[in-house]
């Protein structure tokens, strides 16, 4: 493979003993081998640490300590990473096939490409063959940000220089810092992305943002803050929120 570059995969986890082994196995099975895996554990107490230590590879970094939430963990992972390309695969997610990293690396052959993303499937927590939702991406268009568009973040890989440029993830957001980072990145006129029209990651249902009505409301409030902090007007921000939630409904129909 030409021009191989190191991909840094960051996994944030806390008390995920039921799923972390699947996540780490899907990384080990990748046919693209020039990667590093950074596991940031938030001081788990359920046995996750024992499982993680058993499965760590030679090209892995592991720390376990209290943190301020998932975005604090993401920032720690970025600071520890050495790869030119950075992506995130959390404890309850796993790659859809063994050639996902190869597809991502090939998309980055174009030196003008700043980010790569693909499709995502939400699957059952226990029966991962059951697909609950399909998040199908598409090629980015600047106007799409107004209509609630964003790439599936678990499939989103970015050249590390861009995280330096936007200052990583804002830990003041508990649910929507990934959305804020996407808004910042795609608002830059020189930020070029590439879409891979394949399912790259499978995510178990039951994520933080949709566990309850109160969390869904909190996410909407944080999404609004993110939009407004990027100087998107009130009317366009409101339209974006409506469209963003409407897109989720479509995912159940794909």
* pLDDT 10s digits, 161-202: 999 999 999 999 999 999 999 999 999 999 999 999 999 999
Global pTM value:
0.92
pLDDT at 7: 98
Q: How far apart are CA 87 and CA 92, in angstroms?
A: 15
Domains and CATH numbers, the chain: 7-251 (3.90.550.10)
Q: How far apart are CA 244 and CA 150, in angstroms?
A: 8
Residue with tokens 């096939």: 97
Please state the φ and ψ torsions of residue 187, each to the nearest 5 degrees: -80, -10
> What is the percent of the chain with per-residue pLDDT over 70, rounded to a whole number?
94
pLDDT at 143: 80
Retrieve residue 46's tokens.
């359920």
pLDDT at 252: 67
Residues of the chain with pLDDT below 50 are 1
Alpha helices in 119-200 (DSSP H): 160-166, 177-186
């Amino acid at each position: 493979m030409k021009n191989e570059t190191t991909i840094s995969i960051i996994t944030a986890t806390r008390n995920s003993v039921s799923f972390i082994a699947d996540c780490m196995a899907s990384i080990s099975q990748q046919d693209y081998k020039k990667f590093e895996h950074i596991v940031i554990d938030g001081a788990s107490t359920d046995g996750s640490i024992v499982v993680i230590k058993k499965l760590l590879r030679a090209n892995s970094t592991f720390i376990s300590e209290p943190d301020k939430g998932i975005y604090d963990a993401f920032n720690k992972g970025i600071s520890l990473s050495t790869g030119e390309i950075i992506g995130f695969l959390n404890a309850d997610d796993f790659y859809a096939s063994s050639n996902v990293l190869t597809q991502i690396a090939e998309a980055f052959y174009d030196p003008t490409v700043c980010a790569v993303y693909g499709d995502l499937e939400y699957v059952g927590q226990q029966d991962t063959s059951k697909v609950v939702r399909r998040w199908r991406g598409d090629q980015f268009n600047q106007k799409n940000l107004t209509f609630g568009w964003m790439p599936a973040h678990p499939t989103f890989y970015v050249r590390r220089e861009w995280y330096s440029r936007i200052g990583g993830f804002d830990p003041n957001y508990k649910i929507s810092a990934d959305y804020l980072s996407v808004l910042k990145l795609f608002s830059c006129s020189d930020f070029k992305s590439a879409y891979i029209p394949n399912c790259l990651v499978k995510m178990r249902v039951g994520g933080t943002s949709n566990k309850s009505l109160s969390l869904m409301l909190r996410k909407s409030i944080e999404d609004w803050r993110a939009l407004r902090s990027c100087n998107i007007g009130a009317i366009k921000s409101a339209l974006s929120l409506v469209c963003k939630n409407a897109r989720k409904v479509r995912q159940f129909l794909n």
